[in-house]
Chains A and B, each alone.
Chain A
Amino acid sequence: MTTYILRRVLLMIPTLLVVFTLTFLIVHATPGGPWDESEKPLPEAVKANLSRQYHLDDPLYKQYVDYLVNALQGDFGPSYRFVERSVSDIVGATFPVSAQLGVLAMLFALVVGIPMGALAAVKRNTWIDFVASLITVTGIASPPFVRISLLIVIFSLALPWLPSGGWEGIWDSRVILPTIALGMGPAALLARYTRSSLLETLAQDYMRTARAKGLSERVAVTRHAMKNALIPVVTVAGVTLANVITGAFFIERIYGVPGIGRMFVDSVTGRDYPLLLGIVLLFALLISVTNLLVDISYALIDPRIRYR
C-alpha cells in the first residue's frame, strides 16, 4: 500500500510538470496586457519599461526556470493589473472565500444527491424515480449561469426572501443561493451515480440472502446495499471538483462573491496574464491532488481492489 501511494505521488509530478509547461507556454505566447485596453496606445518607452519590470525581455527558458523556481517557493510573481499586489496575495485573499463556498456546495450535493439517487433506485420506475430523474437531468444539463440567475429571479426578486448578491461569510443568508446553484450540478451527478450503483447492488445475491433471512427492506437497503453501492460513487469526487471550479467562474461573478472564480474571469477579461497563469496552476494542483486522494481512498475502502 505504501509503495502504491508513493508511486502515485511520484507519478503526479511529471503530469503536473507537463501541465505547468503547457500552460506557461500558452499564457506566455499570449501577447499584450491590460495596458492595450486603454484608449491611447502606450509610448514605446513605457512598453519597454513594462517589459523590463516583468522580465519579458529575458530569454524564454530563463523566464520559465525563474518562474518554476519561484512558484515552488510560493511566489507567482506580480500581477499586471493590481500593481501593488502579488499573485500569491490575490490568491491568498480570494481562495479561502471560494473554498468555503465550494465545501458548502459539496455538502449540499452529498446531502441532497445521495438520498435522491438512493430513493430513485429503491422506487425504480415509479413517479418518484421519474421526478428524481427530471431533477437530475436538469441539474446536469443546466449551466451554472442559468441556475444562479434563475434562482435570483425566483428567490430574491419574485419572492423577496433572500438577498440578490454579495458575500458576508458562511453564516449569512447571502450564502444560500450561490451554494445551491453551485451544488446542484454535483448533486445531480451524485444522484445519477448513486442510483445506478445501488440498482446494481440491489440485484446481488447477498441482497437476496439478506431479505431471505427476514431483514426488513429498509434495513437491507441501508445496512447492506448502501455501503457497497457508495464505493464507486467515491470516484465522482474528481468530476465534482471540476464542476464546482468551473461553476464558480459564473456564480461568483453574477452573485458578487469575492472568490477566486471571479478573480479568474477578471484576469481573463482584464488580460492579467500572470494572475491567470497562477490561478490555472492552482486549479491543476487541486484537481491532481483530488484525483490522487480518490484513487488512494478507493483502494483503501474496497478490499477487492488490488494495488500494485
Chain B
Amino acid sequence: MTATATAAPAAMRPSASLWRDAWRRMVANRPAVVSLAFVVALVAAALLANFLAPYPFDQQDLDQTDLGPSAAHWFGTDQLGRDMLSRLLYGSRISLAVALVDVLIVLLIGVPLGLVAGYLGGRIDTVVMRTVDILLAFPNLLLVIVVITYLRAVLDLPQSGALALVGELDKATGGLLGVFIALGLVSWLTVARLVRGQVLSLKETQFVEAARMVGASSARIMGRHLLPNTLAPIIVAATFGIPGAIATEAGLSFLGLGVRPPFPSWGILIAEGVRSMRAFPHELIVPAAALAVTLICFNFLGDGLRDALDPRLKVD
C-alpha cells in the first residue's frame, strides 16, 4: 500500500516537468509567442464580436457604399454600405467555429480510431487504415467539394425525417453544418494514422505489458496508458490541422459552396472583394490579409508546439 502511495507522486513529477519544459521552450520561440498572442486576441474578438463591432454585420447603408477607411468605418464599407470591420469580426466567429469543430473531429474520431486500430489490430486495423489510405490519396479539397456538392443538392430538395432536420440545421447555421460534415470526412485522417503509428510502437513497451499483466482492460490501457503518451503529437497535429480547416471553409465559401450570404465568412468577403478589387481594392485586401495572417499564425504556433513538445523532431 505504501508503495502505491509513494509511487504516485514520483510518477507525477516527470509528467509535470515535461509540460513545464515544453512551456519554457515555447516561450523562447518568438514567432510562436507572437502567433499565440494573435490567436488569443482573435478568439477574444470573436467571442466579443457583438460588443466590439460598431455596426451589425448585415446593416446596409446604400448612401455609404464602397467607402475607404475612415474614423466612422475603420476598414471602410462594402458595395452595400456594410461596415467591413464589423463583418470581419463576425466572420472570425465562423473561422474559429470551424477550427473548434475540426479539433473536435480530430479528438472524437481520429484519436479513438487510431488507438483502436493500432492496439487491437486485425480486421479493424485493416478496414480503418485502408479507408484512410484511399481518402488520403486525393487532395482534401477535391474530396470535400464532391461531398458538399452532393450534400447541397440533397438538402435543397424537400426531405423528410432525419435529413429534413439536417437541412433545417444547415439553413439555420447559414450552411456551416454542411461544411462541418464535409470536414468530418477528411479532418481525422492524418491524426488517425499518426496515433496508430505511435500505438504500434508503444504497445510493445514494458509498461503496457505490465498493465496487461495486472489485468487492465483494453479500454483502460488505451485510455490511461496509450493516450497520454501520444498526447504531444496529437496536439501538434491538431494545431497544424486548424489552418487547413479554416482555409477549406474559406475556399468553399469563396466558391459559393460553403457559408451562405449574408453570413460574413471571410471566404465570402474575399469573393466579394475580388469582384470589386479593380475599383476598391481595400474590400479585397482587408479580408485577404486577415485570413492570411490568421493561417500563418496557426502555422507558426504549430511549429512552435512541435519544437517545444517533441524536440526530437526538431532538425536543428
Q: Which residues of A are interface residues toward B (Cβ below 8 A)?
A: 15, 18-19, 22-23, 26-27, 29-32, 36, 124-125, 137-138, 140-143, 145-146, 149-150, 152-153, 157-158, 164, 195-196, 199-200, 242-243, 245-246, 249-250, 254, 265, 268-269, 271, 276, 280, 283-284, 287-288, 291
Which residues of B, 266-315, contact A by the 8 Å Cβ criterion?
A: 270, 273-274, 277-278, 281, 284-285, 288, 291-292, 295-296, 298-300, 303, 315
A19-B138, A142-B295 given; name 19 further pairs at CB < 8 Å. A26-B150, A30-B149, A30-B150, A125-B316, A137-B296, A141-B295, A146-B291, A149-B270, A149-B274, A153-B285, A199-B315, A199-B316, A200-B315, A242-B142, A246-B140, A250-B255, A268-B255, A271-B153, A288-B137
Are the C-beta atoms of B292 and A164 separated by less than 8 Å? no
Measured CB to CB, the nearest residue on chain B to A288 is B137
Note all chain B residues with C-beta closer than 8 A to A249.
141, 145, 255
Q: Is B172 an interface residue (CB 8 A)?
A: no
Q: Is B215 an interface residue (CB 8 A)?
A: no
A265 to B145, CA, bound (A): 9
Are the C-beta atoms of B270 and A145 separated by less than 8 Å? yes
- 5 closest pairs, A vs B, by CB? A242-B139, A141-B295, A246-B141, A30-B150, A141-B296
Q: Is B134 an interface residue (CB 8 A)?
A: yes
A249 to B252, CA, bound (A): 11
A198 to B188, CA, bound (A): 31
B157 partner, pick from A31, A150, A152, beta carbons under 8 A: A31
Are the C-beta atoms of B273 and A149 separated by less than 8 Å? yes
Note all chain A residues with C-beta closer than 8 A to B139.
242-243, 245-246, 283, 287
Secondary structure dominating the interface of A: helix
A157 partner, pick from B146, B278, B296, beta carbons under 8 A: B278
Min CB–CB distance B110 → chain A (angstroms): 20
Note all chain B residues with C-beta closer than 8 A to A288.
137
Are the C-beta atoms of B137 and A276 separated by less than 8 Å? no
Measured CB to CB, the nearest residue on chain B to A129 is B316
Min CB–CB distance B79 → chain A (angstroms): 16
Secondary structure dominating the interface of B: helix
Are the C-beta atoms of B243 and A141 separated by less than 8 Å? yes
Are the C-beta atoms of B316 and A152 separated by less than 8 Å? no
Q: Is B14 an interface residue (CB 8 A)?
A: no
Min CB–CB distance A255 → chain B (angstroms): 10
Are the C-beta atoms of B292 and A142 separated by less than 8 Å? yes
Q: Is B256 an interface residue (CB 8 A)?
A: yes
Interface mask (B258-270 → A, CB under 8 Å = 1, otherwise 0): 0000000000001
Note all chain A residues with C-beta closer than 8 A to B138.
19, 242, 283-284, 287
Interface mask (B118-154 → A, CB under 8 Å = 1, otherwise 0): 0000000000000000100111111001110110011
A153 partner, pick from B137, B147, B284, B300, beta carbons under 8 A: B284
Note all chain A residues with C-beta closer than 8 A to B154.
29-31
Note all chain A residues with C-beta closer than 8 A to B278.
157, 164
A280 to B150, CA, bound (A): 14
Are the C-beta atoms of A137 and B291 separated by less than 8 Å? no
